[in-house]
Structure 1
Amino acid sequence: MNDKIMVIQVFVVLFLCINLLLITTFFTKEVFYTTMRYVLFAVTLMSDCLLLFLANILLIFSYYLYTIKMWLCLIIYIVLSLYIFVTPVTLTAMTLERYVAICLPLRHGELCSPRSTLHGILIIHILSSLPCIVFLSIFFASASYGSYSQGRVCTVEIFIIHRWQGHLKSAINQFYFLIMCITILFSYVKITRVAKAASGEDKKSTWRGVRTVGLHALQLLLCLIQLWCPFIEAAVLQINLMLFLNVRYFNYISFILVPRCLSPLIYGLRDEMFIHALKRFALCGLHKKH
């Protein structure tokens, strides 16, 4: 397992460096932080960086059986549970932005203004916090006051006191992702119809929007599969411990790391304006070093 942990560290450091480079590039041009799709892209990058960093710390603590106080674990869990949802909810908002831009171009300036963007970010965080609030309210009502000062290995399972809590958490998560999947599917169908009817440069731009929404759907699917991983791992644990460790390692790479690393590929490296700014920023950095 030591080799596998080291491989994960390499992946995490690599993706954090890429995301931080893209975040820095985002602040180099005014057009990026005054345009909704770029602002939402930056939100996903920051959310993914925080999630990767905290999840990696908990992975290391869990591997070495390092215990921390329950109250500190609770704070980490609140942040993690919030930002697990921020990325997929933001992806849904980005899909809706593409829908408005392509299907309702005359209203795009009004609906996707900087003021609307700030309101959208606030709504994203409110919606993302609701599952955490419901789940933790049940935990606070069930846990004893003295348990907060106990030292525990920090995992999600320690907050599940009653079995039905896990089922409730799963039901809320599945409901959220069902709504997001329906929204993305609706946008995909509408944008595809416009793409078929368009011509010339508009057709090329519209089909690029179709591909972007399709990639968002793939990213959302990987995030959804992540919710099923605990059930799969629990079933495998009953069969064989080594198989359980291998499955958990595969799930961590495939459904936690990979979905959080697709944002740079989908938006950052496919967007002509952003990739041009990124190249110029990187070349300026190399030029200054010389």
Structure 2
Amino acid sequence: MNSTSRPDGFRDAFIKNFIAVFLCVTINTINGSFIYIYFRSEVFKKDPRYVLYIHLVINDIIMLTSSVLLQVITYLAVGGINVALCCTILVVMVTTNKNSPVNLACMAVERYIAVCRPLHHHQLCTVGRTYCLIGLIWGASFIDAFADIIIIFVTRPLSFFSVSMMCFSNAIYSVRQHKDKTTVVQVVLVSMVFLTLVITYLKVLFAARKASGDDQVSARKARNTILLHGVQLLICMLSYASPILTMHLIQTFPTNFRNIIFPCFILTNVLPRLLSPLIYGVRDQKFSHQLRLLFSCRSSGPGEGERLKPTAGERVRPMKGKRERHRQ
């Protein structure tokens, strides 16, 4: 496909972009409800687990928005877009794409410390340290994304940034150094995150077997949570498998490549941005409770929905006490 050809007709392009934008707005609205719930309650802000979770939600919103924006721009710009603008959007996409699995690994470690090192949890897992950890995650992911720009500076002339072309990562980052760097980073990242999830899961599993009573219930919940992180990791890995899957399908069905790229984009980049946060948020009792209050148009009051007014039974007891003291 050259840089001057429109990939689809007007009707097909409109339908595909409408579907992508509609899903983007819908998913961001749902995820935005979690953000709204988080910021309206001080209870969530004081828990490192929820700080990491809401960071995952915000990160996925940024990634989804940039991905759909890039697709719409690609369809609107018939002759391609400026390479400098394309690289800027790709840096945001690559950075947020790397953030998700690392954030999941950090959430698993937090659950491990809460169960296996409960006496040190309040010292190690503070909100301040969590924000510092999020900053380190963004810094490491940005360095990896910016390394692609540096490779372009080294291997291509500066005039390359003023060229207009179709904005695909395989087209912009096409030299061998990009492919080698991407392969190494993805293998190291996936291996580290996978080992972190496996080790923390096994540690919590052994702790659950040794615990008793309430501790056993807490350990079992933490074990299920880490297992859920593993499922979320597989969902995140779909975006890594997207280029390979798309290439394989195009080679198998070369005449239908226009109908292959878009479904792969939706399945591997758009829908996972909804499933990953939604599975965790709905499963969590605090968030699910607040969601029910939010969508039922009821006010939950401060904190986690504590009752602002005493019930009828609670009002009767002090009155009854006053009457008894008066009779005495």
Alignment TM-score, normalising by the size of structure 2: 0.80
Compared CA separation, residues 243 and 223, structure 1 to 2 (3 A): farther
Quote the offset at 1:211 in angstroms: 1.6
Q: Which residue of 1 aligns with 2:129?
A: 116
- The answer for unaligned runs of 5 or more in structure 2 is 1-11, 301-328
How far did residue 286 of structure 1 move? 8.7
Q: Is the 8 A contact 2:293 2:299 kept in 1?
A: no
Listed one character per residue, the Cα deviations across residues 83-122 of structure 1 (whole Å, up to 9, x for unaligned) are 0111111111111111111111111001111221121111
Q: 1:150 to 1:130 in 2, by over 3 A?
A: same
Q: How does 1:241-256 map to 2 (within 5 A)?
A: 241-256=254-269
The equivalent of 2:85 in structure 1 is 72
| Alignment CA distance shift 1:240-1:117 (3 Å) | same
- In the TM superposition, 1:142-157 aligns within 5 A as 142-157=155-170
User: Given the alignment, which residue of 54, 60, 63 partners 2:72?
Assistant: 60
Seen in structure 2, the aligned counterparts of structure 1 residues 245 and 175 have a Cα distance that, compared at 3 Å, is: farther
Give the greater-gyration-radius structure (CA): 2
Q: What is the CA-CA distance between 1:135 and the residue it aligns to?
A: 2.4
Alignment partner, residue 24 of structure 2 = 12
Q: How does 1:1-290 map to 2 (within 5 A)?
A: 1-2=12-13, 3-66=15-78, 67-284=80-297
What is the aligned residue count? Answer: 287
Deviations 1:214-242 (A, max 9, x none): 11111212322422321332233334334
C-alpha displacement at 1:128, in angstroms? 1.7
Amino acid at match of 1:97: E
Task: Give the TM-score normalised by the residue count of structure 1.
Answer: 0.90
CA distance in 1, matches of 2:251, 2:284: 46
Q: Which amino acid aligns with 2:92?
A: V
**Partner residue, 2:6:** none
Aligned residues of 2:67 and 2:93 also touching (Cα < 8 A):
yes
The more displaced of 56-65 and 192-201 is 56-65
Q: How far apart, in 1, do the equivalents of 2:49 and 2:30 lie?
A: 19
Which moves more between the two structures, 95-104 or 136-145? 136-145
- Higher mean C-alpha deviation, range 107-116 or range 268-277: 268-277
CA RMSD, 1 decimal: 2.3
1:41 touches 1:263 (CA, 8 Å); kept in 2? no
Distance change in 2, residues 1:212/1:145 (3 Å): same
Distance 1:214 1:123 in 2: 25
